[in-house]
Structure 1
Amino acid sequence: MGWRVPCARKEKGSTGFGGFVSMRHAPTEASRALWNRRVEPLRLPVGAVCVFLATADFLLGQTILLASIELYHRAFGVRPPDIWDSICLSVTAGLLLVAFMTARGAYTVSGILDDHCRIKTLISGWLFVFFSILWLAFLTKTTSTFSRGSLTLAFAVGFPTLLPAHAVLARGLKRLLAAEKLVLRTVYLFYSGVPGKEQGIISKLRQQGIAVCGVSNIENDDGTIAARSVHAAAAAAQAAFRNGSYGAVYLFCSWDQRKLIDRILEEMSRLPLPIYLFADAYIDRILAGSPLHTGWQRAFEVQRIPLRPAERLLKRLFDIAVASLLLLFLCPLMALVACAIALENGRPVLFRQTRRGFGGKPFNIYKFRSMTVQENGTQIRQAQRNDARVTRLGRILRRSNIDELPQLFNVLRGEMSLVGPRPHAIAHDDTYSVIIASYAYRHHVKPGLTGWAQINGFRGETKELWRMEKRVEHDLWYIKSWSMLLDIKIIWKTALLVFSDRNVY
């Protein structure tokens, strides 16, 4: 059992955060004096932060609309609309933006700290605002009141204005939370598990603006419920509530300890507080999947389909468009390389080798020939530093990744993608699938010309097993975390690494 939190350094006698006192470890006089010298963190309710951010978005949305209308009409010397009409429009835009952002959870702590979610929500919110304004104008027959130019200007400058403002606010909030200078809520903690690990949980909660005012460690070493321990823990929690109110109770224990959970809920039923049961590492992986409602029961997706149909279509269209453009621009270079290979080593110019693709389906991968051998059997030796099999021209082609360019045809044929796990020779697949349990999951998406593992340094020869394990780990992270922006990021970083990667021989 365990929770995904880093273990904090445990200082003997420390009172912790926000007056935290453990049932097992009473604070010493020295620790009290040290705590008193610390600067008290700023305490704000979560609602105050939400209201502040929502107010900021409302004012920004208003200002963008009003300023765009004024600037456009002054620049072109056109008579602006009535000032009250402009104010009504700007207020409507601000309210629509705030309503959308609130509905999408943008003003929660997790929504603010998640950069990817914040950017996605801002884009969606600003699009929603303008589509709603156009629809309202159509319904009220007021489309002629405001010029299309002023609204287009407002739409164009809105997102570049909102994004930096949100980034500044998020960065400030992150710094305050990381420095433990901001408290958004106070809770009481029940913990049953490995002694000492509760300190890691407390440390993680601090960084989310959650102060732990007290903790009860429940002894449950032999798997049986210690009734006295639970009763004493609940009594301590009730006493802490009477002395200084907190807003919720957090319960950390393994979900298979059902009797313990029921006993804690029974003991704590006297307090009018919400009680949250946190998932351990195993349950957390299950709950991370999408829920399925069948009408009589709920299920959770324990293995996710790598890409939804719409995502596969988007990725495929992106592959076709980019691969076609690259082939168009690189065609002269590829023709020159083919002639150089033919002059140095004769034919064939291209090297074909069987690889496994999506779902383990075999296909022939194309490369410019860079070695004197054309291995494609059950025994394939990877290229090594100063490998005698690599030709003089081949060293240049492999170092600059030019030898991989024919794989753009594999992309157009649908056998590969621009980004994905790099395909290995079938002999290597057979070997590593036995040694590494999760190796086969790499075939859940199409293989790619480049991938997340490659831009993070796990490319080229895999002499040590740990290098292949890290490559597989990065590939699986990519499959679980796929997005169009991630593909673009990987392609960009690959372009920067073309001539600087030293792991290719």
Structure 2
Amino acid sequence: MLAAVFVLGATLYDVTLNSKYGLLLCAYLVCYSYLAESVQLYRSWRVGRFSRMLVLLVVAHTLAFLLVLAALFLFKQSEAFSRAVLIGWYVASLVTLALWRIAARGIKTMQRRRGLAMQKVAIIGATGSGLNLYHEITRHPELGFECIGFFDDRATNRLPVETQRYVRGSIEQAVALARSGELVKLYICLPMLAEQRVADMITALGDSTVDVLLVPDFLMKNLMHGRIGNVGDVDTISVFESPGFGIQDFYKRSFDIAFSSAVLLAIAPLLLLIAAAVKFTSKGPVLFKQDRYGLDGRRIGVYKFRSMRTMENGGKVIQATRNDSRITPVGAFLRRTSLDELPQFFNVLMGDMSVVGPRPHAVAHNEEYRKQVAFYMLRHKMRPGITGWAQVNGWRGETDTLEKMEMRVKFDLDYIRNWSLMFDIKIILNTLLKGFINKNAY
């Protein structure tokens, strides 16, 4: 569709397509494919909201278009292309892609209202997680699921009151329905502790063609990017693991390199002005390099513009407080506006940090808080960032109470569990919109 709209637009504007236009289209398609895959645009319509899909479409299409335009201006090739064709193609292709999805969804919705293209599903286990799943299915008929009810071996008086009216029978009856081909999907919502029951059930369901899905209970929800792997022929489930595996790490690292390079080029004059201000207003070096923990807890040296008269980097580091006498006048301004952290884009280029991630703490603070805050060290399952999910939610600056650090860690772990390139872009936009000035930064 993208290529067809491109050719049609050029034809309508009587523009002759040459090798440059062909190269431009190929470059765009590569960028679009990369971004669309990064934000998981191409996935089953039954496992996501349609409105979110349209938003992701706009984001992927717009970013790819802007990247191509930036490349044209950077290499001084923009004059070789018709602006009318490019802008017309951007708008027309976006409308075409959106209308195609809306039309396809409309057809599917009409089918499902007539009882067509519906998938019959059932839930094993009248549990809290099972009830949550049932409500999600009933709230979103566009998913195309028809839940026939729960199946549980417990007596009715032992079941949660809110699930009793939905129970259709025993687990054995659910297996029989699956074997007869009446079900397309069977969701197992039993606790992980019921390992033997789940194993027996899966063995019995092996004599059917039903899709069997395990719904995580409370224990599984607390896994850090839990996924199934193997060591030889032995299956494993990750409990604590970085989300940056395989192509995902490539996405994040390539984005970091491109973004930090562009930022450093844009702010080079500002960096020189700040360096001069630091140098001529107080004694000491322009840059301060402090040891912090990076990916997997390895020590890294993080750069900042020097904002204090002292440069603490030992076993005890005292956090900056309001009206701290160690802070220089220029340093106070740099800290309030977060300009002191701009040199960390060099850390991003070197691979020690990322644009977005949990903020790195001094080694002394890590050693202090890892003993007091549960799962604290899991912050280091990703590269530390210049900005982060905790920071845009207000959890930055001095952590003078344990609760503040616990909340920062909570948001950091939430970011790691739900990481995506789209999430990074959202945090960057939030950082820009909310500004760099914060009442807790001093």
| Residue identity matched to 1:206 | T
Which digits, 9 at most, give the CA deviation of each residue in 1:171-194, with x for residues without a partner? 999x99xxxxx9955555443557
Q: In structure 2, which of residues 95, 98, 103 is the aligned counterpart of residue 161 of structure 1?
A: 95
Q: 2:389 aligns with which of 452, 461, 477?
A: 452
Q: Which residue of 2 aligns with 1:494?
A: 431
Q: How does 1:286-305 map to 2 (within 5 A)?
A: 288-292=226-230, 294=232, 298-305=235-242
Match of 2:326 among 389, 402, 426: 389
1:253 aligned to 2:190? yes
Task: Tell me whether 341-350 or 452-461 shows the greater mean CA deviation.
Answer: 341-350
> Does residue 1:202 correspond to 2:140, yes or no?
no
Structure 1: tracts of 5 or more residues without a match: 1-60, 79-100, 128-150, 177-181, 224-230
1:476 positional shift: 2.8
Superposition map of 1:18-417 within 5 A: 61=1, 65=4, 72-76=10-14, 106=43, 108-111=45-48, 113=50, 115=52, 119=56, 159-165=93-99, 184-185=118-119, 187-193=121-127, 199-209=131-141, 210-215=145-150, 218-219=153-154, 233-234=169-170, 247=183, 250-254=187-191, 256-257=193-194, 274=210, 276=212, 278-281=214-217, 282=219, 288-292=226-230, 294=232, 298-308=235-245, 310-417=247-354
Shift of 1:220: 7.0
- The answer (yes or no) to whether the contact 1:366–1:406 under 8 Å persists in 2 is yes
Amino acid aligned to 2:407: K
Displacement of 1:293 in angstroms is 8.5
Separation in 2, partners of 1:169, 1:327? 44
Greater Cα radius of gyration, structure 1 or 2 = 1
What is the rounded CA distance, in whole Å, between the counterparts of 1:360 and 1:267 in structure 2?
44
AA of the residue aligned to 2:94: P
Match of 1:434, SS state, is: coil
Q: CA deviation at 1:418?
A: 2.4
In structure 2, the CA distance between the partners of 1:487 and 1:280, relative to structure 1 (3 Å rule), is closer
Q: Distance in 2 between matches of 1:105 and 1:468?
A: 38
Q: 1:111 to 1:118 in 2, by over 3 A?
A: farther
d(CA) in 1 for partners of 2:247, 2:131: 43
Deviations 1:431-469 (A, max 9, x none): 111122322222233222222222222211122323222
Q: CA deviation at 1:167?
A: 7.1
What is the alpha-carbon distance in structure 2 between the residues aligned to residue 439 and residue 381 of structure 1? Answer: 19
Contact 2:225–2:417 (Cα < 8 Å) also in 1 = no
Asked if structure 2 preserves the Cα contact closer than 8 Å seen for 1:355 and 1:425, the reply is yes
Cα contact 1:359–1:443 (8 A) shared by 2: yes
Encode CA deviations 1:398-447: one digit per residue, 9 max, x unaligned.
11111112223333443323222211111100011112232222223322
Supply the distance in 1 between the matched residues of 2:224 and 2:303 (Cα, whole angstroms).
Answer: 40
Instruction: Describe the shift of the 1:171–1:392 C-alpha distance in structure 2 as closer, same or farther (beyond 3 A).
Output: farther
Distance 1:465-1:172 versus aligned 2 partners, 3 A rule: farther
- Equivalent residues of 2:355, 2:385 under 8 A apart: yes
Q: Distance in 2 between matches of 1:422 and 1:166?
A: 42
Alpha-carbon displacement from aligned partner over 1:20-50 (angstroms, at most 9, x marks no partner): xxxxxxxxxxxxxxxxxxxxxxxxxxxxxxx
2:402 corresponds in structure 1 to 465
For residues 324-354 of structure 1, the C-alpha deviation after alignment (integer angstroms, 9 at most, x for no partner) is: 4433332332332233334432333333322
Tell me the distance in 1 between the aligned counterparts of 2:59 and 2:406: 37
Deviation at 1:114, TM superposition (A): 8.4
Report the Cα distance in structure 2 between the residues aligned to 1:326 and 1:113, rounded to whole angstroms: 34
- How many residues were matched structurally? 373
**Which of 364, 367, 373 is equivalent to 1:430?**
367
* Structure 1 residues 169 and 403: alpha-carbon distance in aligned structure 2, compared to 1, 3 A threshold: farther
Any conservation in 2 of the 1:188–1:246 contact (CA below 8 Å)? no
Instruction: Tell me the residue number matched to 2:24.
Output: none
Residues 58, 94 of structure 2: 8 Å contact kept: no
Matched residue, 2:161? none
- CA separation of 1:400/1:275 partners in 2, compared to 1, >3 Å: closer, same or farther? closer
**Distance 1:427-1:207 versus aligned 2 partners, 3 A rule:** same
Question: Which residue does 2:76 correspond to in 1?
Answer: none
Q: CA deviation at 1:316?
A: 4.0
Take 1:454 and 1:377, find their aligned partners in 2: how far apart are those partners?
25
**Shift in alpha-carbon separation, 1:309–1:336, aligned structure 2, 3 A:** same
Change (3 A) 1:184 1:286: farther
Deviations 1:206-253 (A, max 9, x none): 1243454544554379x9xxxxxxx99349979xx9xxx975665532
Report % sequence identity. 31
Q: 1: CA distance between counterparts of 2:417 and 2:130? A: 29
Q: Matched residues in 2 for 1:267 and 1:314: separation?
A: 41
Q: Which amino acid aligns with 1:356?
A: Y
Deviations 1:5-30, CA, capped at 9 Å, x for gaps: xxxxxxxxxxxxxxxxxxxxxxxxxx
Q: Distance in 2 between matches of 1:406 and 1:372?
A: 18
**8 A Cα contact 1:192 1:218, kept in partner:** no
CA gap 1:432/1:109 in 2 versus in 1, 3 angstroms: same
* Structure 2: distance between partners of 1:334 and 1:279: 51
Query: Paired residue for 1:441?
Result: 378
State which drifts further: 489-498 or 254-263: 254-263
| Alignment gaps of 5+ in structure 2 | 17-36, 65-84, 111-115, 159-166
Provide the rounded CA distance (Å) in 1 between the counterparts of 2:415 and 2:343: 24
RMSD of aligned C-alpha atoms?
Answer: 5.0
For 1:413 and 1:72, how far apart are their aligned partners in 2? 43
- If the length of structure 1 is used for normalisation, what is the TM-score? 0.58
Hey, what does 1:37 align to over in structure 2? none
Residue 257 and residue 397 in structure 1: after superposition, are their counterparts in 2 closer, same or farther (change >3 A)?
closer
Q: Could you say if the C-alpha distance between residues 274 and 287 of structure 1 is closer, same or farther in structure 2, counting changes exceeding 3 Å?
A: farther
- Rounded to whole Å, the distance in 2 between the matches of 1:268 and 1:234 is 14
Deviation at residue 117 of structure 1 after TM alignment: 10
Which segment drifts farther, 442-451 or 482-491? 482-491
